[in-house]
Structure 1
């Protein structure tokens, strides 16, 4: 998921740190070294992540937009200048606007706030922001929680016993809690030096970007894969309890369905499937020493991969693979192209359960057409056995024209009585039921008046049953005892329609 590096460049970040008797470095230098380590870890293990760099003091500045060019980020870090005092609230507001403009409010994001443990002083301090939290209006809201799903990780470049950090730590923890989604607060272990800061950023990268490694299997064929981004547990909340679902490491193909039949079902997440040949290295920690040499890449290209075979087959046949990702939990694997020349193998994870795609029916009941006689082969969409409550079009009166259209439709049927008797009463009961449901009882009286006026304006060539049915409908609409929503207006039995 996208990540924003929010770096404090206030004057307090240039305070010296005594490394040895004659060597001093600034906290800003340590922060930059830690960020470089963080980017190096991502370049090895999560090359597809978008990273942005924002510098802040009393104001904020977007120094590098979201990019996968980590070298450009490192170059921009060397160009940072020092500014005035710290204002964390202003920085978080800037991040909120930047992410909304780039990704919208549905994409999850990670925010890494790197500071020296000083929460600021005066009106722009974090403590002052919290003190005015209950006195804000809609024009000046506090930026947390963010307008999008986000984890906030606060990284303090300060020793654990720093007085400013001890004072500010509860404030930072409150920020993390307000952001939600289980963020973190990181402090270097031991003294403040380059080794402890680098180790802290390595641990942070490992926590944030732990890759999901599993096995894609179909019969006797299987392939080791990585899912990017890593799936997170899904929590299904019901009226009285909640249940947590965790994606299985074994993703098994059940069968194949044309993409046109699958359509676009509701999904909880989508992931890029990447083949991997690092057998026996699934739990290798993130560190700087792991890298792929040219020989490794060449050898990997010579190894047959079921993942590559499946991708090619699905792309050529325009099919998708139905897979199990857990106990009674399904997903679809398909080829997705973001350009004319490049395509990727994608996994769409459905909501847990077997009846989550209505037009496919119960996924546990799907079978190969080779195992069924021709007369038992069905087609999609699967029709439900029971009649749905929404099988008929609902009445929608958002605009005046919608109501006028429904009334005019009834009058058109009325002028063609007795041939349109059934259609007339069907539309009349439909409108009457909607009016009673909405409490729009004046509509019934108005419709009765319209029917009476229509009777007086009928041409001489009109059928006698027309006036009788309109008068009958007007009388029934006015009766108070017939205002029950379950009551149905029936046609008047006359000598003209008795046959």
Structure 2
């Protein structure tokens, strides 16, 4: 998962501390920068695909570097840090929400590492409005101050409570120095960035692989209780399906599948239990046959995906994926833990091979399994994922309003569609906003505009502010004027 490192650059971080056995003094900011360098060195060796971003915070938060895999660039940025003024945790949490949601969305888990001395008054941790982190996260608060600091424990506990997740506080020794920071940072890196190794099995062929990022346990409500399921250490391929048949099902996560570095490939199923996932042999990987390379090339050429079982009633999809740089990789999509996680295919336990390969199946026997009801894809469904979508719908109504009375039917059809969507989404404030836009549009109409344009806009704005406009079953009728018959236009809506 992406990682965000937040560094405290307040005045208290300029405090110099001396080591237990060394008289050389370092500032707390220097110790924090050393911890970041140790963490980046660990990622360079063990997790090169991890995206890392660095921000600093005091009274203001600054994005030192956005998400990147260039760890050398991050190290260069760390050397340019300077001490600033007082600490403001409220602006830190707002900045975390902004950069994560803009880059990854609100559903991608992120790892947050906050390095601070914790020296802050309680007033700074009591903002005017409640602070929340609007993305799934795993937080670690690392202290570069002595453990007997009277401010550190309560302040860092409040930081931890904001995330509402399974976080932890890493405390250093009473005598903070370079050696203790190095030890604690390495332990933190080993715990947070442990690799996920597994065995990929296909018939009598088995191969040791690495999953990046590591799959997270999935917790779901089953029979009135919460059940947590983890991905098994053995991923078994059940069969192969055409790309067009599997489509794009809902997924929990996506992972890169790599052959385990320096690992032997085994082609004997009886040796599966004796295979060590952490085997560190020194053979030349280029000369060792890899089942992952064979599988990836086969899926890419045949335009198919591999259906694999991750655990009991839990399945995933292996496929060949090409990024924007025209590099192809073997990816794993983790589906929801259910046998019917792909509705148009049905229960996976009924899948199998044809009894006779020479028999051509009927069209209704092929994938995907179509639902019995006939669905219409011509309906104009309103979807507002971004601000531009809502703005486009409003501008469409205004364009039709300027062409009244010729576009009376289209104007009220689009207006009622927008109004019903706002009511369905609970966005009733939009109705008052549209009414204000209509009234402002009336004052800005050119002299050449048709008189019916101002009449219909004023009529629509008035109804939008009435309680009846909150009823989804109600349709706003056109105003009956000498230019258009209201009942006649209403019957065409």
Quote the residue 1:86 is aligned against: 87
Q: CA deviation at 1:239?
A: 7.0
Quote the residue 1:151 is aligned against: 138
Q: CA deviation at 1:258?
A: 0.5
SS of the residue corresponding to residue 313 of structure 1 reads helix
Kept in 2, the 8 Å contact 1:257–1:322? The answer is: yes
Quote the residue 1:128 is aligned against: 123
Kept in 1, the 8 Å contact 2:139–2:163? The answer is: yes
Distance 1:337 1:401 in 2: 43
Q: How does 1:134-213 map to 2 (within 5 A)?
A: 136=128, 141-144=129-132, 146-165=133-152, 169-189=153-173, 191-213=175-197
Distance 1:327 1:218 in 2: 17
Distance 2:186 2:236 in 1: 34
State yes or no: 1:51 paired with 2:52: yes
* Gap regions ≥5 residues in structure 2: 264-274, 383-410, 418-470, 477-486, 489-493
State yes or no: 1:12 paired with 2:12: yes
> Against the structure 1 CA distance between its residues 312 and 439, is the aligned structure 2 distance closer, same or farther, given a 3 Å change threshold?
closer
Distance 1:101 1:112 in 2: 19
SS of the residue corresponding to residue 182 of structure 1 reads coil
**Alignment RMSD (CA, Å):** 3.1
> Against the structure 1 CA distance between its residues 103 and 340, is the aligned structure 2 distance closer, same or farther, given a 3 Å change threshold?
closer
> Against the structure 1 CA distance between its residues 69 and 403, is the aligned structure 2 distance closer, same or farther, given a 3 Å change threshold?
closer
Q: CA deviation at 1:100?
A: 2.1
Kept in 1, the 8 Å contact 2:208–2:277? The answer is: no
Match of 2:217 among 230, 233, 236: 233
Kept in 1, the 8 Å contact 2:131–2:162? The answer is: no
State yes or no: 1:319 paired with 2:304: yes
Distance 1:442 1:3 in 2: 50
TM-score for both structures, normalised by structure 2: 0.71
Distance 2:229 2:136 in 1: 19
Distance 1:315 1:114 in 2: 44
Kept in 2, the 8 Å contact 1:324–1:330? The answer is: yes
State yes or no: 1:365 paired with 2:360: no
> Against the structure 1 CA distance between its residues 441 and 211, is the aligned structure 2 distance closer, same or farther, given a 3 Å change threshold?
closer
Distance 2:187 2:325 in 1: 39
Distance 1:397 1:9 in 2: 49
Q: How does 1:482-497 map to 2 (within 5 A)?
A: none
SS of the residue corresponding to residue 339 of structure 1 reads coil
* Gap regions ≥5 residues in structure 1: 122-126, 285-289, 406-437, 444-452, 455-499
Kept in 1, the 8 Å contact 2:246–2:368? The answer is: no
Quote the residue 1:27 is aligned against: 28
Distance 1:68 1:206 in 2: 19
State yes or no: 1:41 paired with 2:53: no
Quote the residue 2:327 is aligned against: 342
Cα deviation 1:186-208 (Å, max 9, x = unaligned): 11145312121111111221222
Q: CA deviation at 1:310?
A: 0.2
Query: Which protein is bigger by CA-based radius of gyration?
Result: 1
The alignment covers a number of residue pairs equal to 383
Q: How does 1:384-423 map to 2 (within 5 A)?
A: 401=413
Q: CA deviation at 1:16?
A: 1.4
Distance 2:329 2:375 in 1: 38
> Against the structure 1 CA distance between its residues 442 and 116, is the aligned structure 2 distance closer, same or farther, given a 3 Å change threshold?
closer
SS of the residue corresponding to residue 83 of structure 2 reads coil
Distance 1:336 1:21 in 2: 53
> Against the structure 1 CA distance between its residues 33 and 340, is the aligned structure 2 distance closer, same or farther, given a 3 Å change threshold?
closer
Q: CA deviation at 1:313?
A: 0.4
Kept in 1, the 8 Å contact 2:217–2:228? The answer is: yes
State yes or no: 1:67 paired with 2:68: yes
SS of the residue corresponding to residue 207 of structure 1 reads helix
Quote the residue 2:463 is aligned against: none
Kept in 1, the 8 Å contact 2:31–2:177? The answer is: yes
Kept in 2, the 8 Å contact 1:160–1:189? The answer is: yes
Distance 2:325 2:50 in 1: 23
Distance 1:346 1:75 in 2: 32
